[in-house]
């Protein structure tokens, strides 16, 4: 017995067995099999979204299951057991891990944006900026309106709320509507792609475990040059393509606004008799950004102390957004005659469209968890490292391909994040570097919006632009935003 044990100890250890067998790995062993699974999984995802027109949440969930089974994961690993052992399944951990971080932020941000929208904050913001900059610089005023108001509201909501202001500015000047809508759209698109509380950057931050303070800082650093370049292109193309104000959309906007006011009145929301103060709007939007940034830098500049704990408490994204929302409730609602019931009605109504976003983000988390748990992520990581391209470039390229292929920026971000995450495992990258990789992913997610993107048709129909002119204006504008944002991220990464 002793001799046998000593002999066994002296013998060279057998190579570890692969974690999973079966599926495609039975036919194509090792890394080639895993890479085949990854490639087929992405192709299947694109096919289901583009050709079958399957809802992205269902497509991501189905592909995640298919990839896991093809890579050799067991049903127990994917779904858990009926008795529910102490360890969660990959689907549960993937969905719960990301939504635990994202759902609260998106929910609070959505309600904040709704209060700003219904209270007339957007109209006040644009009117004051138009008055400040004058008629000649009205396009710049529209761009700043989109940039500021786009922080707390979703892209499509921003178009709905601000389109009538664009119509009025273009009608007054008699110039092409492109001069006014394109800067506005650039601001809305930049904030949607680069800044919290929008779902894409928040989801990526959750997957990469990056503080939102760094996402905000790097989003501003990369996004501002990108939006300036986009504004320059908007001024150039607006002088070369004349698009008149769409009269049918003007009438439709007036009818929609009247319907919204009627709904608000029925719900007990009093129409605003006097405009909201511009300073109030800016303070409410800026409060969570400032608090989160202070918390991020306190962890660097301050030693552990009571002061640092207080700053980090108020700068926690959940706390900061809750404070901003409560400020909006009081300053824009209760102080202006709203009842508590009307505040509840507006907040609840704003959350209805969020379900789809959260499910897509959660399915992206499942996809990432399955890639990691099945070994596909490690195979992709090894292959990409062997290619020799920087991670930040690969992140942008993967995001661009997914965006151009299937159209959704959110799907592009969450899918790319799941693919790129294993590339940075073990590299001990700093928070700023991780934030810059997220900026590259976000930049790629808005590249070349075209006919498979809902935003393309929203822009074309809301502003009366032909498909050909939308490709020349909006599609190129998005490409400028994407490329410049990515280049700035690369440049900053070289010096950080």
Output the average pLDDT for the chain: 85
CA–chain centroid gap for 469, Å, is: 27
- Radius of gyration of the chain, Cα coordinates, nearest whole angstrom: 25
- pLDDT, tens digit (0-9, with 9 covering 90-100), for 101-157: 789 999 999 899 888 888 888 888 888 888 888 888 999 999 999 999 999 988 988
Q: Which residues of 137-161 are buried (b: 16+ CB within 10 A; e: fewer)?
A: ebbbbbbbbbbbbbbbbbbebbbbb
- pLDDT, tens digit (0-9, with 9 covering 90-100), for 245-279: 888 766 766 665 666 566 666 656 565 556 788 89
**What was the pLDDT predicted at 19?**
46
**What was the pLDDT predicted at 378?**
78
Report residue 363 as tokens.
Answer: 């399915």
Per-residue DSSP letters for 124-162? Answer: HHHHHHHHHHTTTTHHHHHHHHHHHHTTTS-HHHHHHHH
* pTM listed for this prediction: 0.84
- pLDDT, tens digit (0-9, with 9 covering 90-100), for 336-378: 888 888 888 888 888 887 888 889 888 888 888 888 888 887 7
């Amino acid at each position: 017995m002793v001799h046998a044990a000593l002999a066994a100890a002296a013998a060279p250890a057998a190579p570890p067995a692969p974690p999973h067998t079966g599926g495609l790995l039975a036919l194509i062993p090792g890394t080639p099999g895993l890479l085949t699974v990854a490639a087929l999984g992405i192709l299947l995802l694109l096919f289901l979204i583009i050709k079958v027109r399957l809802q992205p949440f269902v497509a991501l969930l189905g592909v995640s299951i298919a990839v896991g089974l093809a890579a050799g994961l067991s049903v127990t690993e994917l779904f858990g057991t009926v008795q529910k052992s102490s360890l969660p399944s990959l689907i549960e951990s993937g969905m719960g891990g990301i939504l635990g971080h994202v759902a609260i932020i998106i929910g609070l941000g959505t309600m904040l944006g709704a209060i700003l929208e219904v209270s007339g904050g957007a109209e006040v913001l644009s009117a004051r900026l138009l008055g400040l900059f004058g008629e000649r610089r009205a396009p710049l005023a529209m761009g700043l309106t989109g940039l500021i108001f786009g922080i707390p509201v979703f892209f499509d909501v921003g178009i709905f709320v601000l389109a009538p202001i664009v119509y009025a500015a273009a009608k007054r000047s008699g110039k092409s509507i492109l001069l006014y809508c394109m800067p506005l759209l650039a601001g809305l698109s930049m904030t949607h792609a680069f800044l919290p509380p929008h779902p894409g950057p928040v989801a990526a931050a959750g997957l990469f475990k990056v503080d939102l303070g760094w996402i905000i800082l790097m989003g501003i650093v990369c996004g501002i040059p990108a939006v300036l370049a986009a504004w320059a292109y908007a001024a150039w193309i607006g002088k070369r393509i004349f698009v008149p104000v769409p009269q049918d959309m003007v009438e439709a906007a007036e009818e929609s606004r009247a319907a919204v006011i009627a709904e608000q009145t029925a719900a007990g929301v009093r129409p605003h008799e006097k405009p909201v103060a511009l300073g109030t709007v800016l303070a409410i939007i800026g409060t969570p950004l400032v608090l989160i940034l202070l918390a991020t830098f306190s962890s660097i500049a301050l030693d552990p102390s009571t002061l640092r704990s207080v700053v980090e408490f108020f700068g926690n994204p959940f706390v900061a957004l809750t404070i901003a929302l409560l400020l909006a409730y009081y300053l824009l609602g209760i102080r202006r005659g709203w009842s508590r019931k009307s505040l509840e009605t507006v907040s609840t109504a704003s959350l209805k469209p969020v379900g789809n976003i959260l499910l897509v983000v959660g399915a992206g988390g499942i996809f990432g968890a399955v890639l990691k748990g099945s070994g596909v992520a490690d195979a992709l990581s090894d292959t990409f490292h062997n290619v020799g391209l920087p991670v930040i470039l690969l992140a942008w390229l993967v995001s661009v391909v997914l965006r151009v292929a299937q159209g959704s920026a959110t799907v592009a971000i969450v899918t790319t994040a799941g693919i790129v995450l294993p590339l940075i495992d073990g590299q001990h990258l700093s928070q700023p570097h991780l934030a810059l990789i997220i900026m590259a992913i976000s930049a790629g997610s808005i590249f070349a919006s075209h006919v498979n993107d809902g935003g393309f048709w929203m822009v074309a129909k809301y502003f009366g632009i032909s498909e050909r002119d939308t490709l020349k204006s909006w599609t190129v504008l998005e490409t400028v935003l994407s490329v410049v944002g990515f280049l700035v991220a690369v440049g900053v990464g070289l010096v950080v």
